[in-house]
Structure 1
Amino acid sequence: MPENTNREVPTGICWCGCRKEAGIGRFFIQGHDKISEAALITADYDGSIPRLLAKHGYGPDNSVRQAAVDTGAWIECPREGCDYTGAPASVRKHAAKPHPSLGD
């Protein structure tokens, strides 16, 4: 994973803007990260994921999934012929399951 020298620091107050206490070392109250994500997409991209992706240079011809793999933050499923990508823990869980499309 690339070194990020500009890391945000959790303040213990929820970053969604609700101003509630999130706890020491936490950015969000449980579930408020997804609320924040949805609010940002609505506020800045008219609720459109394609608009968000295009604004950042991603789309059918430039894969955001491959970009995540290229950073080292995501990995590919080790199963030959499987195109699943995700965070390492997610891929480990996925890879342990049968792959019916691959003949399992």
Structure 2
Amino acid sequence: MSRKTTYTSSSQQRLLKVLMALFADVVTGVPGTVLAQAAGCSPSAITRDLDNLRTAGLAERDEETGLWRLTPRLPQQAVKVFNAVERAGARYEQARNRYTRNPD
């Protein structure tokens, strides 16, 4: 059952949409107009959001192309998640092998 709260902030939700849209191209970058469309906001709102992400060290603007991309900070966290899942999988396999092998 979903419970409605009053904690949801439209500006924070928009910022999260921008972050997710930035994952679309972490190498070349994404135009601000595309990010504004993804977040459903105006160009001035996307400018404020991107400035906040830059201040937080999560996004950067390529001065040559004008495109925005994630800094390595968030993708590095994703790598940590994958590594943790791999370690958990290895522990699971060890336990499975321990309990399923034939006794001597």
TM-score interval w.r.t. the shorter chain?
under 0.3
Task: Give TM-score scaled by structure 1 length.
Answer: 0.25
Task: Give TM-score scaled by structure 2 length.
Answer: 0.25
**Structure with more contact order per residue of length (Cα contacts < 8 Å, sep ≥ 6):** 2
